[in-house]
């Protein structure tokens, strides 16, 4: 979704007056009493009253013919007193060239344009809450289309809780308890990657938290993990980066969302739900796919990232060891921050920042930071391994994936062998840093050689099986890829696998340096093995 302002109503002054439809009155006090009676952590967090409707947009709108063909359809939906209004479509099929916008009636906010690129196989669609109690639906259809568009609204969600705060000042404190901590406070600095994976979900009148999760192919497949009790995500919207830009202050974007998903796996006893988001996540959302740990060892400390009471993204820490409680991890006491309703489905991370479970339930709140429970990821593994480990690696842990840095880190570098000394009396030393994944840069640094000499970089997929001084890397003549260059300090490679060598888990390097004063006429560095993260 993107925020735009070029709908016809915003550039054409004489459109036909809009048709208005008023929703029935909402018993807010009764809804709040129901929420209190069932407990805010009992199930998904309810923020809005679901009002069933049957609004065929093209049939019930006022229509304005456009010069040159095409029509503008507009209808207004009023639900007085709502903090926000959201829409669900039972039929959404737009032809190429058509566009749909949702406007706040006061003209401050506008979502769109939605178009044929938002069509889904199931014909469903939904739109995140708009911060107004009067909204305008505006649909534009060209004069000549292969088939007419279909737009049928089946639900209006009257937001009786303020879960946006989009129009508040930069000092807006949000709706969660005062003990909660914004993710962009200094305590969140080491975990910004994990923070980028977390999103707030809207499904009907309910919201939860969840996170994108990586798989062993490291391919950015849009897998999303949340709690099973958050309900069907088929027609949900996923809102990313709803967080204060600073610590306790700053704006929070509300327009970085995608829509729709398909169910891959779920279970009620461990309370997890794995889906694949069907809407394309734009690059500028800058998302991250969290890594995971399916081990059973109790982590020495943990943290969680979540949307308590639907508020801007927060981070909570437990400095003590998490313990097992049946199918759950138990957080006995939070040391900083807590969780609340709306945090359901949020990820629990171990001390290495890897996902180990999702929030299912608990009692914690500001003033009582005790007893939260997270369904254990290790118990879900047998049902999700085909999705999360498609390569069949059998790994117990997996690091996260950053689409902007596919290497995912620096990898591991290991020196092998002693090399061959030159006239300086010692062998040159070779070290490496940077990613070991395709499409990234690996930097090799050589020290201890004569200055400004030429050398040959030898690259292989296994260590030499012949004693050529320091383990020179000759797996076979056909896989040997020498690169001749002038060696002067560091050598940057645009890809760690030169042509002729397929991507591997490990790769070996060595540099032979011209040194005519040495008995053999050259010196050689130690061997160097690089392993992918």
Sole residue written with tokens 């009396």: 425
The pairing of beta strand 19-22 with beta strand 71-78:
parallel
For residue 435, indicate whether it is catalytic.
Answer: no
Q: Are 355 and 346 in contact (CB under 8 A)?
A: no
pLDDT in tens, 295-318: 999 999 999 999 999 999 999 999
Sole residue written with tokens 């391994």: 385
Measured distance CA(353)–CA(83) in Å, rounded: 36
pLDDT band at 471 (very low <50, low <70, confident <90, very high): very low
Q: What is the mean pLDDT of the chain?
A: 83
Six token digits for residue 443: 């930097």
pLDDT in tens, 442-458: 667 777 666 656 677 77
Measured distance CA(432)–CA(442) in Å, rounded: 7
Six token digits for residue 475: 């797996």
Q: Is 364 exposed, middle or buried (0-12, 13-18, 19+ CB in 10 A)?
A: buried
| 319 pLDDT more than 70 | yes
| 466 pLDDT more than 50 | no
Measured distance CA(360)–CA(328) in Å, rounded: 8
Q: Do 8-159 and 168-404 agree at the fold level? A: no
**Which is higher by pLDDT, 506 or 111?**
111
Mean pLDDT of 480-484: 44
* Catalytic pick among 83, 134, 158, 229: 229
Q: What is the model's pLDDT at position 464? A: 59
pLDDT in tens, 203-234: 999 999 999 999 998 889 999 999 999 999 99
Measured distance CA(167)–CA(270) in Å, rounded: 38
For the ranges 40-44, 384-388, 403-407, 505-509, the maximum mean pLDDT occurs at 384-388
pLDDT in tens, 181-199: 999 999 999 899 999 999 9
**Which is higher by pLDDT, 419 or 271?**
271
Q: What is the model's pLDDT at position 38? A: 82
Measured distance CA(103)–CA(79) in Å, rounded: 14
Polymer length in residues for the chain: 533
Least confident of 32-46, 198-212, 378-392: 32-46
| 531 pLDDT more than 80 | no
Q: What is the model's pLDDT at position 483? A: 44
Q: What is the model's pLDDT at position 452? A: 57
Mean pLDDT of 467-475: 43
Cis peptide leading into residue 474 (ω within 30°): no
Q: Measure CA 449 to chain center.
A: 46
φ/ψ of residue 383, rounded to 5: -95, -10
pLDDT in tens, 18-41: 889 999 999 999 999 998 888 767
* Catalytic pick among 61, 126, 244, 344: 344
Q: Are 122 and 233 in contact (CB under 8 A)?
A: no
Q: Where are the domains of the chain?
A: 8-159, 168-404, 412-531
Q: What is the model's pLDDT at position 517? A: 63
DSSP secondary structure of 256-311: -EEE-EEEEEEETTTTEEEEEE-S---GGG---BB-EE---SPPS-EEEEE-GGG-
| 408 pLDDT more than 60 | no
Measured distance CA(59)–CA(57) in Å, rounded: 6
**Which is higher by pLDDT, 499 or 189?**
189
Q: Are 177 and 366 in contact (CB under 8 A)?
A: yes
Six token digits for residue 133: 């109690």
Q: What is the model's pLDDT at position 292? A: 95
pLDDT band at 11 (very low <50, low <70, confident <90, very high): low
Least confident of 106-120, 301-315, 424-438, 496-510: 496-510
Q: Measure CA 518 to chain center.
A: 55
Six token digits for residue 276: 């694949």
Q: What is the DSSP letter of 365?
A: B
Q: Are 63 and 16 in contact (CB under 8 A)?
A: yes
Judge: domain 168-404, CATH 2.40.10.10.
yes
Helix (H, G, I), strand (E, B) or coil at 55: strand
| 256 pLDDT more than 80 | yes
Mean pLDDT of 482-497: 47
pLDDT band at 419 (very low <50, low <70, confident <90, very high): confident
Q: What is the model's pLDDT at position 66? A: 84
Q: What is the model's pLDDT at position 165? A: 74
| 248 pLDDT more than 70 | yes
Q: What is the model's pLDDT at position 469? A: 43
Q: Measure CA 47 to chain center.
A: 23
Measured distance CA(306)–CA(340) in Å, rounded: 9
Helix (H, G, I), strand (E, B) or coil at 10: helix
For the ranges 65-69, 96-100, 146-150, 344-348, the maximum mean pLDDT occurs at 344-348
pLDDT band at 510 (very low <50, low <70, confident <90, very high): confident
**Which is higher by pLDDT, 305 or 402?**
305
Residue 382: its H or E element: helix 377-388
Q: What is the model's pLDDT at position 61? A: 94
* Catalytic pick among 271, 328, 350, 389: 271
Measured distance CA(238)–CA(200) in Å, rounded: 6
Q: What is the model's pLDDT at position 480? A: 43
| 490 pLDDT more than 60 | no
φ/ψ of residue 30, rounded to 5: -65, -40
**Which is higher by pLDDT, 410 or 8?**
8
Helix (H, G, I), strand (E, B) or coil at 32: helix
| 431 pLDDT more than 60 | yes
Q: Measured in Å, how far apart are the chain's first and last C-alpha atoms?
A: 33
Q: What is the model's pLDDT at position 13? A: 62
Measured distance CA(476)–CA(462) in Å, rounded: 9
> For 8-159, CATH number?
2.60.120
| 475 pLDDT more than 50 | no
The pairing of beta strand 412-416 with beta strand 527-531:
antiparallel
DSSP secondary structure of 190-259: GGHHHHHHEEEEEETTEEEEEEEB--TT-S---EEEE-GGG---TT-EEEE--S-SSSS-S---S--EEE
| 502 pLDDT more than 60 | no
**Which is higher by pLDDT, 410 or 95?**
95
For residue 5, indicate whether it is catalytic.
Answer: no
Helix (H, G, I), strand (E, B) or coil at 19: strand
Q: What is the model's pLDDT at position 487? A: 44
Sign for the pseudo-dihedral over CA of 146, 148, 149, 154: negative
Q: Are 429 and 470 in contact (CB under 8 A)?
A: no
**Which is higher by pLDDT, 137 or 494?**
137
Fold of the domain spanning 412-531: Immunoglobulin-like (2.60.40)
Measured distance CA(412)–CA(160) in Å, rounded: 52
φ/ψ of residue 488, rounded to 5: -145, 80
For residue 35, indicate whether it is catalytic.
Answer: no
Q: What is the model's pLDDT at position 494? A: 44
Nearest CA to 157 among 132, 140, 123?
Answer: 132
Q: How many CB atoms lie within 10 A of CB 428?
A: 25
Sole residue written with tokens 């939906």: 77
Sole residue written with tokens 């490496």: 432
């Amino acid at each position: 979704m993107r925020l735009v302002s070029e709908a016809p109503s915003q550039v054409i002054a004489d459109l036909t007056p809009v048709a208005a439809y008023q929703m029935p009155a909402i018993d807010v006090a009764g809804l709040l009493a129901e929420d209190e009676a069932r407990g805010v952590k009992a199930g998904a967090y309810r923020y809005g009253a679901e009002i069933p409707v049957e609004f065929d947009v093209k049939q019930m709108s006022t229509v304005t013919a456009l010069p040159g063909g095409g029509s503008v359809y507009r209808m207004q939906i009023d639900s007085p007193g709502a903090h926000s209004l959201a829409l669900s479509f039972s039929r959404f099929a737009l032809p190429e060239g058509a566009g749909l916008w949702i406007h706040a009636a006061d003209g401050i906010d506008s979502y769109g344009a939605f178009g044929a690129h938002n069509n889904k196989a199931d014909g469903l669609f939904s739109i995140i809450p708009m911060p107004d109690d009067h909204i305008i639906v505006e649909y534009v259809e060209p004069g000549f289309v292969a088939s007419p568009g279909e737009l049928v609204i089946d639900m209006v969600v009257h937001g009786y809780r303020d879960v946006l705060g989009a129009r508040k000042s930069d000092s807006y404190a949000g709706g969660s308890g005062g003990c909660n901590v914004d993710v962009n406070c200094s305590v969140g600095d080491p975990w910004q990657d994990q923070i980028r994976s977390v999103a707030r979900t809207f499904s009907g009148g309910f919201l939860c938290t969840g996170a994108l999760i990586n798989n062993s192919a490291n391919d950015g497949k849009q897998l999303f993990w949340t709690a099973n009790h958050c309900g069907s995500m088929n027609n949900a919207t996923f809102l990313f980066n709803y967080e204060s830009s600073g610590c306790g202050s700053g704006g929070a974007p509300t327009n970085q969302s995608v829509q729709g998903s398909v169910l891959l796996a779920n279970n009620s006893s461990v309370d997890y739900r794995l889906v694949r988001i069907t809407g394309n996540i734009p690059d500028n959302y800058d998302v991250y796919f969290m890594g995971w740990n399916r081990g059973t060892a109790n982590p020495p400390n943990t943290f969680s990232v979540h949307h308590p009471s639907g508020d801007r993204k927060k981070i909570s820490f437990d400095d003590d060891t998490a313990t097992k409680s049946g199918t759950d991890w138990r957080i006995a006491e939070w040391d900083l921050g807590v969780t609340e309703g709306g945090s359901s489905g949020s990820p629990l991370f171990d001390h290495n920042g890897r996902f180990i479970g999702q929030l299912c339930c608990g009692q914690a709140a500001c003033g009582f930071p005790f007893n939260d429970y997270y369904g254990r990821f290790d118990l879900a593994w047998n049902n999700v391994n085909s999705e999360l480990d498609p390569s069949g690696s059998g790994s117990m842990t997996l690091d996260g994936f950053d689409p902007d840095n596919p290497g995912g880190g620096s990898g591991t570098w290991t020196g092998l062998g002693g090399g061959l000394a030159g006239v300086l009396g010692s062998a040159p030393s070779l070290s490496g840093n940077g990613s070991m994944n395709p499409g990234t840069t690996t930097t090799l640094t050589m020290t201890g050689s004569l200055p400004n000499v030429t050398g040959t970089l030898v690259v292989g997929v296994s260590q030499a099986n012949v004693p050529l001084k320091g383990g020179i890397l000759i797996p076979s003549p056909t896989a040997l890829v020498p690169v001749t260059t002038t060696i002067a300090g560091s050598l940057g490679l645009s890809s760690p696998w030169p042509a002729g060598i397929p991507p591997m888990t490990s790769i070996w390097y060595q540099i032979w340096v011209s040194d005519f004063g040495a008995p053999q006429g050259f010196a050689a560095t130690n061997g160097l093995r690089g392993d992918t993260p």
